[in-house]
Amino acid sequence: MTLKVYGRKSSCNVQKVTWLCSELNIDYETLDYGGRFGGTKDEHFKSLNPNSTVPLIDDDGFYLYESNAIIKYLSRKYKFLILKDEKIIAKRDQWMDWAGFTLAAPCATVTLNMFLLPENKRDPSKVLKAKEQVFLLLNILNNQLIYNNYILGNEFSLADIPAGCWYNRCKKFNFDFSKFDGINQWFSKLQKREAYNSNVISAPLPPN
């Protein structure tokens, strides 16, 4: 059965899911929903996800929303990137939530004011404030990566997926991140993964 992923390719949260699906080499199809494609306010979609957000997956009649929950589910189902130590699992979840909420918030503000709003509605002061937040947060991530190949240590894990998606979005802002040596070496490693390139690096920017 082909996994159905509801959501637009420009969404970082959708990219998390399709990136992992490609790593797993499973059959899946992406259905364009959300953003300019609409569809998330339809009664049928709302009956599956009352939040009217993407991504949403249909795994042979099992519906699940929230991107971090989805990738954890797929990881367990296909026994991929499984961790056993409860403390390491907690750290993984910490970094996944950090990227998905703490880092995502200022990134979303910049995205809105750089790409989504009409030019006469964009607020440069909000971009500047959000940019300061992005740099402060990336410094935290950089400190984690200075002595580690990946976020949890020497091995790729689910913790790298949300951060990898949102950092790629940050790169689209054309800010100067050259000082973040830890992040840059990590980003180079991610770029060697075909699934990352095909689902994240090559993804269009919003609103596409």
Cβ atoms within 10 Å of 96's Cβ, excluding its own: 23
Mean pLDDT score, 79-85: 96
Decide if 208 is inside a domain: no
Residue 190's closest CA among 28, 10, 16, 56? 16
- CATH number of the domain to which 94 belongs: 1.20.1050.10
Same-domain check for residues 46 and 145: no
Q: Strand, coil or helix: what is 63?
A: strand
What does the mean pLDDT of the chain come to? 96
Same-domain check for residues 94 and 66: no
What would the pLDDT profile of 152-163 be if each residue is shown by its tens digit? 999 999 999 999
Same-domain check for residues 28 and 100: no
Domain that holds residue 35: 3-77
Distance CA 85, CA 31 (A): 36
pTM: 0.95
Residue finishing a domain among 12, 44, 77:
77
Q: How confident is the model at residue 29 (pLDDT cuts 50, 70, 90)?
A: very high
Same-domain check for residues 127 and 30: no
**How confident is the model at residue 205, as a pLDDT?**
87
Same-domain check for residues 71 and 144: no
Decide if 100 is inside a domain: yes
Residue finishing a domain among 77, 100, 126:
77
**How confident is the model at residue 62, as a pLDDT?**
98
Decide if 182 is inside a domain: yes
Same-domain check for residues 27 and 110: no
Out of 49-53, 115-119, 159-163, 179-183, least confident range: 115-119
Same-domain check for residues 106 and 157: yes
**How confident is the model at residue 19, as a pLDDT?**
98
What DSSP character marks residue 175?
Answer: -
**How confident is the model at residue 48, as a pLDDT?**
97
Same-domain check for residues 35 and 72: yes
What would the pLDDT profile of 86-142 be if each residue is shown by its tens digit? 999 999 999 999 999 999 999 999 999 999 999 999 999 999 999 999 999 999 999
Same-domain check for residues 128 and 192: yes
Same-domain check for residues 122 and 164: yes
Q: What is the DSSP string of 186-206?
A: HHHHHTT-HHHIIIIITPPPT
Look at residue 208 and tell me whether its pLDDT is greater than 80. Answer: no
Residue finishing a domain among 27, 55, 77:
77
Same-domain check for residues 52 and 153: no
**How confident is the model at residue 199, as a pLDDT?**
97
